[in-house]
Structure 1
Amino acid sequence: MIEYDVVIIGSGLYGIAAARCFLEIHPDRDLIILESEASIGGTWSKDRVYDDFWTQTPLGMAEFSDIPLEVPLEDQIHLGFFPARYITKYLEEYLDGHSYGGKTLRDRVLLGHKVTSAVKDASKWKVLCGASEEIFITRRLVVATGLTSKPHQPLLPNRDAFIGEVLHHRDFGQSSLLNNPRVVNIAVLGGGKSAADVVYACAKAGKSVSWILRENGCGPAAHGRAQGRGPYTNSISMFNTRFISSFSPSVFAPLSAWSWLLHGTNLGRKFVDWVWESADRQNRSHAGYQTRQGAGSGFEKLEPDTPVFWQNDGSGIDQRPDFWEVVAEKVNVFRSNITNLSETTIRLRDGSVLAADVLICATGWESALSFLNPQESARLGLPVLRKQERPEDAAKWSRLESAARDNILRRFPSLADPPVHFAREMATTPYRLYKGIAPLDDRTIVILGHIQVGNNFMAAECQALWATAYFDERLHLPSQIAMANEVALSNVWCRLRYLGKGQMGIWYYFDLVPYIDMLLADIKLRSYRRSWALDLFSPVTAKDIRRLHQEYVGCQGRGVRI
């Protein structure tokens, strides 16, 4: 049993950012990172990346603020996007290049340490790792497991009869199936961006690919153009400006005359609608779902069910120049449910019978928070089954959310009229974390990286700084009632703004800039802001926030509470 000042669970972007931030400000503290896998990096670990897995965040943004990421080969960059393996290399070198108190960040990572329970005893947490049976005691616990740790494996009818391989896309990078000449026919199940990446990789490798999307789900993800407009090299740079961000009705943005003009007036809402509808038409035209010449069977089924504004289908960037060409010409698309597996075939409800040597399930993720028991999870504001929620808590949140809904619709009337869409039933309560990070009544734990945003590097750094200030008790927190009202407001807004994807209250896809502005305003940090013109029209990049740690120390002093 060993005691630490800080224990971090998870070594992905958020865990690494938290470790660096805490140690930059408190270099003499004892800190350990527990990683369940055999390598660091989470989504970007060497066990999960593959050649055709590329970033959706461009150079200048896909990096931490203190060290730039470099891609040595120009032909490995397309409009700023590049292969994920460069992030893997960057993170490995990042751990070795940061040392505090005579220990590098890598020295502080324990691989193969899967946390099986975390229990609070008085003012300290007892964290148990199952395989090693080690116990770690800490006064400050950081949960940075993220949302892509535990694969969701779907129920497949008659799966045992299938003699081919069935794997989740998380394990695709470790597999050798693309180089195996005996693997000819590959089926990919799922409609999201991860499915699209796997489909593209398999088709590029010359495999015969069948892409299966459920008939009763949210439908295929929207794929935005990588190409930017005007002075912006790529579309992500455009969306990471404060000007373009203002066209998303975001609860994180402060009330202003500009926001009221855009979202509170009939003329403003018509203009905002026109902007989003133009972007949606451009994306659909670029893909050519209904018009592309030479497209294979079912290509038109990849057209999203809802406009990109609403995000009910999710979204991604077609960051390879030949993405649509490869998919259209080399992939057969089906939108139907799997009804049966036999030795070498997959039968669908529409009567299609697909030959398959391998079935890849790009079917998303489950909660990686099972090491917290339901009572602890409910207390902390983490998802629990609805039937496990106390009736008095359910009644309280129902009252708060009813008032919040009226508030949101007064501010953003356009959210009252969503399109026809697939509405998912949620078996669990949503996240109820203040600022998407902190429980309402426990200053000893934070939850980092349990949000969906367009740039996790920047979100990770800003969440880490906010969490450090929170542990240092350098934040002015409102009353618990005020915090609960803010959580209810955020959750209701998320459901109205992002429909099915927003049900858990953590989908902030178009809201990164106002979200980090809100976090940094809480800490009273401003070194990342520039002249009014640059602030409005230039994308927020990693170099803009590189002075935040120094500003924090200069303004607040080195805290003593962690």
Structure 2
Amino acid sequence: MQQFSSLSPVLMAPLGSFFLILASLAAVLLWGVSLWNGTVAELFAAVLRGHFEDGTPLRTRYTGIFLVDFPVSLLVAFFFYGTNGSDPGYQLFLIDAYSTLQPAFVWLYVESARMESKPFLIANPVVWGLLWQAFGGAISLPLYFYHHLEWKRSRKSLPSPGEHAQLRAVPLSFIIGAVLPAVVGMLPMWMERSASTHQWVLAAWQPDPVWVSLVQHAAVAVLRCWGRLRSSSSSAPRTGVRRNALLGGSAAMAYLTAALSSAIGHVYVVARVLASNDCLVAFGRIHKQYIEINEGESFYLFFLEHAYLELFTTPCAEQTIDLLLGNGKEKVSIRRLSVGDPGPLGPCWTPSRDGELDTFAMATSYDVAIIGAGWYGLVAARTWLRLRPDANLIILDSDSTVGGVWSRDRLYPNLVAQVKLGLFNYTDTPMPPDGATANGLVTGPMIHGYLQRYAEEHDLLRRIRFNTFVERAEPCAHGGWRLSLRDAPGEAVETEKLMVATGVTSIPNLPDCDRGAATVPIIHSRDIGVSYDALNAAAVRRVTVVGAAKSAYDAVYLLVSMGKEVDWIIRPDGAGPLAILPAELFGVFNSIAVASTRLMTCLSPSVFNTTGPVYRFFQRTSVGRWVTGKFWDVVTSLSDSHAGYSQGDHVSRLRPEVDGKSVFWANSGLGVVTLPDFWRRLHSGKINVIRDNLDRIEEDQIVLKSGKKVAADFAVMCTGWGDHFAMFDDATKLQVGLPLFGPAKSRPPADAEWDKLDREAGRAVDAKLPFIASPPGLKNAHTNQVQPNRRWRLYRRVVPLSHAVRGDRSLAILGQIHTVQTPLVAEVQSFWAILYLLGELELPDEDTMAREIAEWNAWTRKRYLSQGQKFPYSLYDFLPASIARSPRGF
């Protein structure tokens, strides 16, 4: 502020007005908005009633002095949920805000040490600090500047020893009085404490400007005494130049302390955001973790672009709000979303109530039919019924329980998902931690129980028809679909809307070999659960496992744990063994959690992420691509070392065939170690890894193409999955945009227009993502090449293009994306699909949709090689908010 003393009165007046305007704008933005959105009213209500809205008690008495206790209680209420660990996003916001404004303490004290006349009122560091704590630094700081303009200041040629002592004391007082209380108050996760204790800590933290000044005064007194002692014992007095140098060094040290404190806070926040897989912490939040909709309340739904949403409840029953969904041409406006009130989507989002609809008539005609009762089918049913509570809806599933791949009959001991607790549940329904492994992974029984409870709590079980296999799905002449059922030949189900949520792991695929003379029991990996006792029988000593998928690794581990000898047959002309990540990287970071972070989306070339400076650095610069490559080299090296491929035993034959970056390319898929002794058992077990093709099975002999025979008491086929779209004939598949399955029969000629789009899309992907423009050569690339007319042709992996063009909104395909974020993708994709089926989304033109399809196909086959040729693969490419705002979405 020294420079202000030289300003003429003509300039000082408008400059002072400028600072007053800044303070007024800050007051309007901060407190005006807080008054408008009800924050201030809720804070006052919490203090007056002595508890928060959720019932948590709020302490309102600290000193017994109302004028002190009331404002302190307001501040405690304001900071409570941002500092007790319950809201990580709010917590990081507070840390970043304090990292920005806390150094103002240092600046104020340095300025006060330089003044001949000490500042007073708002310019006093204590007064200003308290005003900042109460009203915000953006309001108090301009007022501070305004007040300085009124001063007529002069400086001595040399600072007095007292000023020097004040400057030397600033770093200590700042650290003890400002930084330390903030750390203790804002990061309670470092220690366990009750809500009452935490409120005491927050109350003690609020007057931290006072603590800074007290420490400052004490330190100044000590330094002055020390200075007098040194002066009396020194024979050579310091020159003015030397004293000025010492003064400058003390001021610099004070500023350096503030800069380091601010940098640490900013780096901590940015690192947490980049490395977080918690959507509440990401730059664009997409959901609230816990939400309840109670009878009599209305609520807001804030739709972010492309179907992402946040839910907020409010007691204001008359409040209405316009909602906007989409980007560009995809928009939907929804009004009047009070519970039970009719809107353009009908009676919206009515909560289920016990006792209603106790019976459910199994009609043959339905408004909507959903095939599949797994992650996608269940959330799709619940979402549809929240939008259309009176809909006549049925779910058809071939299993006897809910869950799909996690149904009861498919569970067996040691079946553990490759995902950590907290990353494998719907956003509004947390998964209970009971049953998790020691390293926090969720188990098969946990997932089945979770989905069973989800179906029960949302009244879905009575709408599910179990043990029902859909044999055929045919379009009706009058619109809609007709479903023929295998278990009821004389019965057909007609539905206006059809959602296919069968997933990719519903139909077993058995190898094409002669099994007519086999006497050995043969099962698919899907049936390990129901065949567990038979496999574990003492008579079964030697088991043959065929395949190299993750299910094969799990089956071999299970069999070795049973004490069986295993012959593991992997065909040499396939994609080979898959890459397997350790459960934790460097023994600290959960692999799937890391794969779900925003940082990973920068290091994995994706069509979802082709804008912004981070993308340009990592994907468009040689330095960034070098960093990206080295990152994946390190991750692959860690995985290979953890597996022990170099030990020279049979496990060495399981090394992925894409060397160097096998974890990145995931050419044959990607797995994660789910049990701590996984590789140890595979190394020590009696396992014979054979790279050969299956020819036939004769009695109890597995005959290979090479002529070799392998004796077996049991055979487990881990050979992938079959045609889960078998309910559609080939003509319908081609029309819908689904790939044909099985060996090439008579294929229709490739579409020249699609060929052109595919070539253009390939060039566009190469230009945007040069890292994957030159993928590694594959040993058997020709065997995994998908014919152009067998590629997926679904807009957003959901909408049949031909149907969309002619306005037929009767069919949606769900759950075909291979991703580590299944539950969340299921929620978002289902919601978007339902809005499409209901006619609430305006789709872009045919050319735009076709180009989106072609670009996705080009990217996924370049990015994931063999797997990307076959499926809509998207392992690492989960963007919590950016996908929602891109024109691609799911």
| Shorter-chain TM-score range | 0.7 to 0.9
Superposition CA RMSD, Å: 2.2
Change (3 A) 1:12 1:269: same
> Does the 8 Å CA contact 1:261/1:268 hold for their aligned counterparts?
yes
**Partner of residue 853 from structure 2, selected from 487, 499, 502:** 487
1:387 is displaced (CA, Å) by 6.3
**CA deviation vs aligned residue, 1:473-524 (integer Å, no higher than 9, x gap):** 333421011000110010011111111111135111111336x742476799
1:351 is displaced (CA, Å) by 6.5
**CA deviation vs aligned residue, 1:334-372 (integer Å, no higher than 9, x gap):** 222234544333344566543310010000011111211
Residue 656 of structure 2: aligned partner: 304
Change (3 A) 1:223 1:523: closer
Aligned length: 509
What is the correspondence of 1:32-431 to structure 2 with a 5 Å cutoff?
32-73=394-435, 76-98=436-458, 104-121=459-476, 122-132=478-488, 133-157=490-514, 159-175=515-531, 176-228=533-585, 233-291=589-647, 295=649, 298-306=650-658, 307-330=662-685, 331-349=687-705, 353-384=709-740, 390-391=748-749, 394-421=751-778, 422-423=780-781, 424-426=784-786, 429-431=790-792
Q: Are residue 436 (structure 1) and residue 792 (structure 2) matched? A: no
Mapped to 2, the partners of 1:162 and 1:117 lie a distance apart of 31
Change (3 A) 1:410 1:254: closer
1:384 is displaced (CA, Å) by 2.8
**CA deviation vs aligned residue, 1:242-269 (integer Å, no higher than 9, x gap):** 1122211111225222212211111111
**CA deviation vs aligned residue, 1:92-139 (integer Å, no higher than 9, x gap):** 1211111xxxxx200000012211222222332222223223222222
Q: Are residue 445 (structure 1) and residue 842 (structure 2) matched? A: no
Structure number with greater Rg is 2
1:315 is displaced (CA, Å) by 1.1
> Does the 8 Å CA contact 1:453/1:510 hold for their aligned counterparts?
yes
Percent identity between matched residues is 35
Mapped to 2, the partners of 1:15 and 1:310 lie a distance apart of 30
* TM-score, scaled relative to structure 2: 0.55
Change (3 A) 1:517 1:448: farther
1:89 is displaced (CA, Å) by 1.5
> Does the 8 Å CA contact 1:492/1:505 hold for their aligned counterparts?
no
> Does the 8 Å CA contact 1:116/1:130 hold for their aligned counterparts?
yes
Change (3 A) 1:408 1:468: same
> Does the 8 Å CA contact 2:651/2:683 hold for their aligned counterparts?
yes
Structure 1 SS opposite 2:751: helix
Change (3 A) 1:388 1:375: farther
Q: Which gives a bigger RCO, structure 1 or 2 (Cα 8 Å, sep 6+)? A: 1
Ranges in structure 2 where 5+ consecutive residues have no aligned partner: 1-362
What is the correspondence of 1:452-531 to structure 2 with a 5 Å cutoff?
452-513=818-879, 517-519=882-884
The amino acid that maps onto 1:484 is A
Mapped to 2, the partners of 1:503 and 1:382 lie a distance apart of 13
Mapped to 1, the partners of 2:698 and 2:393 lie a distance apart of 51
Structure 2 SS opposite 1:503: helix
Mapped to 2, the partners of 1:461 and 1:14 lie a distance apart of 7
Change (3 A) 1:404 1:523: closer
Mapped to 2, the partners of 1:350 and 1:118 lie a distance apart of 42
The amino acid that maps onto 2:793 is R
> Does the 8 Å CA contact 1:490/1:505 hold for their aligned counterparts?
no
The amino acid that maps onto 2:864 is Y
Bigger drift between 335-344 and 111-120 goes to 335-344
Residue 364 of structure 2: aligned partner: 2
1:389 is displaced (CA, Å) by 5.8
Mapped to 2, the partners of 1:473 and 1:345 lie a distance apart of 57
**CA deviation vs aligned residue, 1:160-197 (integer Å, no higher than 9, x gap):** 33321111111111012233111111111010101001
Structure 1 SS opposite 2:679: helix
Structure 2 SS opposite 1:33: strand
* TM-score, scaled relative to structure 1: 0.86
Structure 1 SS opposite 2:410: coil
1:3 is displaced (CA, Å) by 2.2
**Structure showing the higher helix proportion among its residues:** 2
The amino acid that maps onto 1:302 is L
Mapped to 1, the partners of 2:499 and 2:451 lie a distance apart of 19
Change (3 A) 1:116 1:344: closer
